[in-house]
Amino acid sequence: MNITRENIDELNAVVKVEISKEDYSPKVEKILKDYRKSANIPGFRKGHVPMGLVKKQYGQAVLVDEVNKLLQENLNKYLTEEKLDVLGNPLPKEQADFDWDKDDYSFEFELGLSPKFEVDLKTKEPITHYQIVADDEMIDNQVKTIQKQYGKLVSKEEAAEGDLVAGTFKNEEEGIENTTTFPLDKLKGKRNLNKFVGAKVGDTITLKTKSLFEDDHDLIEFLKVEHDKAHGLDVEVTFEITEINQQEPAELNQELFDKLFGEGNVTSVEELKEKIKEDAENQFKQQSDQQLLNDVTEALIEKTKFDLPAEFLQRWIMVSGEKQLTAEEAKEEYEKSEKGLRFQLIEGKLIQENELQVQLEEIKDLTKDRIKMQMAQFGQMDPSEKDLEDITARVLSNQDEVKKLSEQVMSQKVLEFYKENVNLEQKEVTYENFVKEVYN
């Protein structure tokens, strides 16, 4: 067997694989002999079928299969030994005069080569690294939300702003009849609210569905009308009040603190607010870090210029999926994925050159942290080390899960690498201002 390469340019090459009879013949002969021993052909005893008949019936199929195995095995070995960094997979070149009846074969494959480039992390303008803080207003609102969530309902005879009302919406012609409960805060406009304020259990109120709620989608939930019907629905409905409740906020006491954070972990309103601030800013950190990754990615793609073997990649996309694409579809798919491919190459180079590696212990630590968080949601604040080890072992027995966790660990390593090496500018903002700057 002989393998040679011709470099067309820096991004494209053709590999030629020549296979002679001596390369495949011993294996083909052995397989055919085994076939002869077990073949069931009418008119012949098992094991006594003439070899000529076996070759005629199975010979070419076995030959093609063995040559293809040799071809793939040796081509992959060649790419590894030559340390060729290829994009996509080798594409076989069409050979109009190819003949399986010959003894020796020659195959050609097109290669798309990975470009050579350098990555400079020092951008001209610094990249903003947001430090999102929870301000007093946000913390106070969260305290009110907790009090409301853990509060109790007190039955009333007369409705006031902020109450919950239960009753039945009706409109016979439209087939609307639904018993529901909704907060008066959901109503749109003072006119609708005033119809309820002062109303009593047993009263029937007439309403227009148009602009009844702040969001038309609430008509789907409270009137049980179909989605398409809810938008622009303009009919008259009645609502008979069967129950009125006021939501009394929970007291900020030790019982509530223990219910929220475990016994004795929070003992005062000040500690509650500190805990809310800490939890909120931990969540904000994830958003801030993700935004930093996005911004560094964009900056590196913009700054790091190199060519790709675009024509090769488009031909590869045409044939690499479950369904063959047209040239136009493949071009469109390539244009969609080009940016991601460029960053994949940039990130891969940074990982390799800076020896960023994922260790098994790091995957285990991440898995344990995730398990602790999940258990805490169900009130198990202090699981034993044995329980953690057992659950971790079960999770890591799933190879797909290990791959996913490994990617997350590497993503965190890349993020920390950026924080240490990229030209960053720290900026402290509230969450509200972060959203305005990033998403508006």
Distance of alpha carbon 408 from alpha carbon 419, whole angstroms: 17
Beta pairing, strands 236-248 & 152-156: antiparallel
Percentage of residues in the chain with pLDDT exceeding 90? 80
Distance of alpha carbon 356 from alpha carbon 360, whole angstroms: 13
Q: Residue 55 in 3-state DSSP?
A: helix
Q: What is the pLDDT at residue 247?
A: 87
* Torsion sign across C-alpha atoms 367, 292, 342, 306: negative
> Which of the four pLDDT bands, split at 50, 70 and 90, describes residue 119?
very high
Ordered structural domains, the chain, with CATH: 2-113 (3.30.70.1050), 152-248 (3.10.50.30), 268-439 (1.10.3120)
* Torsion sign across C-alpha atoms 292, 295, 297, 300: negative
* Torsion sign across C-alpha atoms 367, 373, 374, 376: positive
**pLDDT of 73 over the 80 cut:** yes
Distance of alpha carbon 104 from alpha carbon 22, whole angstroms: 9
> Residue 76 contacts by C-beta under 8 Å, 6 or more apart in sequence?
none
Mean predicted confidence (pLDDT) in 263-272: 93
Encode pLDDT of 341-368 as tens digits: 999 999 999 999 999 999 999 999 999 9
Mean predicted confidence (pLDDT) in 329-334: 96
Percentage of residues in the chain with pLDDT exceeding 70? 100
> Residue 356 contacts by C-beta under 8 Å, 6 or more apart in sequence?
350, 410, 413, 414, 417
Q: What is the pLDDT at residue 378?
A: 77
Mean pLDDT computed over every residue of the chain: 92
**pLDDT of 236 over the 90 cut:** yes
Q: What is the pLDDT at residue 220?
A: 94
pTM beyond 0.75, yes or no: no
Are 19 and 71 spatial neighbours (Cβ–Cβ below 8 Å)?
Answer: yes
> Which of the four pLDDT bands, split at 50, 70 and 90, describes residue 49?
confident
**pLDDT of 128 over the 90 cut:** yes
